[in-house]
Structure formats: C-alpha cells, structure tokens
Homo-oligomer: A and B are copies of this chain.
Amino acid sequence: MTTPFFAVAVGHTTEILLTLFIMLAAAKITAEIFERLKQPAVVGEILAGVLIGGSVLGWVAPSEFTNTLAEIGVIFLLFTVGLETKPSAIFKVGKLAAIVAVLGVIVPFVAGYLLMLAWGAANVQALFIGTALVATSIGITARVLSAMGLLDAPTSRIILGAAVIDDILGLIILAIVSSVAEGRVDYIEIVTTIALAVGFTAFIALVGAKVLTNFAPTIERLRTSDSFFVFGLVLCLGLSVAAAYIGIAAIIGAFLAGMALAEASEKNHDMHKQTSAVTEFLVPFFLVNIGMQLKLEVFRDTSVIVLAIVLTILAVLTKLIGCGLGAMSLGWRRAAQVGMGMSPRGEVGIVVAQIGLSLAVINDSLYAVVLFMAVATTLIAPPFLKWLFATEKAAKDDVDSDDAGGIVAQGDFCKIG
C-alpha cells in the first residue's frame, strides 16, 4: 500500500490513532493486572508507558501530539478533582495547608541544592535540581486518592490544598531560577507573576464559586443539550488558558475551575458522570506518557544510577520531613500521610528538567536523573499511601473513637479511571 492516497489519508493520522490505541490498550491491560495484584492501577499505567516506550519495546515514542493529549488529560483530571473539592472544605484546612506547602517547598529545595553542590555541580545546575524537587505532582496524588475513594478524607484536603499552593510556589521559583540561568533577574516581572498568581487563585476560589452557584439555574436552562456539562468544559479550558497566561500552570486553572463549580454542580450527577467519562478516556495518556519519558539506557553509567537513587530518596524524605513537620499537629500517622501524599513529583519536575535542558543548564544525564526521580517518587508513593491509609482505617475500625477524621469511603463514582 504505497499510493499517495494512503500516505495522505491514512499516514499521519493513522499513526497517531495507532499510538493512542497502543497507549490505551497497554494502560488498561497493565491496570487490570495491577488491580488483581492489589496494587494501584496508576502505577500499572505508568509502567505500561515504560514498557511500550523507547527503553523496552519501542512500540511508541512521545510526540508533540501525545504530549499535548497528556497535558489535556491532566487538565481534566484536575478539573474532576476540583469538582469534588468544595472551597469551604479547603478554607477549613487553609492555614495548615499553607504551612505544609511552604515547609514542603523550602526543605526539598535547600536539600537538593546542597546535595548537587556537594556532588560537584555548578551553582545554576544545583538551583535547577532544587527547583525540580519543589512541586508535588497534584495529578498523581489526586489520581491515587481518588481511586482509593479518599478524596473526602481530611488529610486529602490538606494534601490537595498544599499541592495547589506548592505548585504555585514552584512555578514562581522556576521563573526566578530561569532568570538567574539567563544571567538576569527581572524583579518587576517576578513580583507581577506572584501578584497575578495569588490574585487569580483568591478571586476564583472566593468570588467565582459564589457567582457560579447563583448562575447555575440559568446555565441549566440553556437550549444546548447537557448545557451544564458543556459549560464546565468551556470553563475548564478557559481558566486553564488564563492560568497559563498569568504564569501559573494550566492544571491549577483547571483545578480552580472545578472547585468554583463544586457547589453549583453538587446535585447535577449527570454532569459529574459526563466529566468523569472524558477524564477516564484522557488520563491514561497522561500516565503512559510519563512512563514513556523514562530512558533506561543512560543508566549504564553507574554514577548516574547512584545520583538518581540518592535524589529519589532525598525527594521522598524531604517532603516527608518538610510537609510532615507542617502537619505534625494531626499526629504522626496523618503527618506521614500528608508527607507521603506530597512526595510524587511527576509532571512539574519533568517540566523543570525540560526547561533546564532547553537553557543548556542541565545535560542529558541530569535530565534522566530528574525524570527517574519524578517517575520513581510517583511509583513509590501510592503503595505507601495505601498502606498508611489502610492502617489508619484498621486502627479506626478497631477503636472507633475518632470521629472528626473519618475516612468517607466513596463509591465507584470517584474511581475516575
């Protein structure tokens, strides 16, 4: 079949369709295997990416299309998580979440920076690696908590609140470090970014939710079928774009869009189901894409392996210590839940590494080390999280004396994928 007909009509799009088919099928087969082994499906889907990616089978390679689809996937994931997160619930834990976030930013940043200097890296390199350790992958954590039906647990609220805050902090630090790497520091730009980020978040969370709750009946009366679902899609994309233009991550905008609609959509089960369906379709591409980024061949160099392992341990420990310290008022078990919940780095760490690479500050090996750290923390956290929550649940089932911290077991509805 070599006619131009096939080259044009079948060629490019078919290749992408084939890639999507392989990614989705591989994700779901490994997810099924992991479910049967009583392991989190999210880990299976990421490992599916490692398996089908360039390092092992080489069936698919990340492309601009899969990267963008992955980004849209994580945007919808955060939107769905936002829909389950009422602003009032976050405000309740706001102060604690802020402390957790700030300590969880400072400790990993400083530790990563010092480790790299001790390893013999240049100052700018060390700054970048420190920055890559800062931001929690709210997507991975949310996916794990959601699949376990734990989005309503009190520690989950703190984790999600703190993850939003540390993503914002992380992106501000990245902007500063990038300026340093370029040999210039534009204070006005940095201050503007900070003001916009804080103002945008506060505005959506405080004003947006109230306005939307008042407007919900009007939206539901529109002639367009499933108007509330459609409105949600438009708002999700719109605030994602707005957040990106302001200088915070698009996923934060999507989360805020969901949060602003959480109360308005509370009784609209159809809208929640429809949004979950879109998310369920798109999220596997996000997870598999993370796995596909891992290039195993650079680890032939032993020093790269050692650094990757050391950095991964440091990444987990610094969030456990930093965030755990912040949450110590909840008792050690919940502090550990919060610390472990904050430890997956995922996409933000990878974005930092990509920017470092594009500025020629980071070389291929350091890039692989950051990718390894991001993927490894993502793989390590879920089983520990599951165990930490399970032991609490068991303890609670035995004693049944602690009401305020009850874990609300949600139904299949929240198992978005």
Q: State which of B8, B175, B238 has its C-beta within 8 Å of the C-beta of A5.
A: B175
Instruction: Name A residues whose Cβ lies closer than 8 Å to a Cβ of B.
Output: 1, 3-6, 8-10, 12-14, 16-18, 20-21, 24-25, 28, 31-32, 35-36, 41, 64-65, 67-68, 71-72, 75, 147, 171, 174-175, 178-179, 182, 186, 189, 193, 222-226, 229-230, 233-234, 237-238, 240-241, 244-245, 247, 249-250, 270, 273-278, 280-281, 351, 354-355, 358-359, 412, 415, 417
- With A24-B234, A35-B224 known, 8 other A-B pairs at CB within 8 A are A3-B182, A4-B355, A4-B359, A13-B250, A17-B72, A21-B234, A32-B223, A229-B280
Bound: A263/B77 CA distance, A: 31
**A interface SS class:** helix
For the complex formed, measure the closest distance between the CB of A26 and the CB atoms of chain B, giving whole angstroms. Answer: 10
B67–A13 contact, CB under 8 A? yes
B245–A10 contact, CB under 8 A? yes
10 contacts between A and B (CB under 8 A): A5-B355, A6-B247, A10-B244, A10-B247, A17-B250, A28-B224, A32-B223, A32-B224, A65-B65, A229-B280
Residue of B nearest to A70 (CB): B13
Using Cβ atoms and an 8 Å threshold, which residues of chain B touch A4? Answer: 178, 182, 355, 358-359
Using Cβ atoms and an 8 Å threshold, which residues of chain B touch A65? Answer: 64-65, 68
A71–B278 contact, CB under 8 A? no
Using Cβ atoms and an 8 Å threshold, which residues of chain B touch A222? Answer: 32
Q: State which of B14, B179, B238, B417 has its C-beta within 8 Å of the C-beta of A244.
A: B14
B67–A226 contact, CB under 8 A? no
Using Cβ atoms and an 8 Å threshold, which residues of chain B touch A277? Answer: 226, 229, 273-275, 277-278
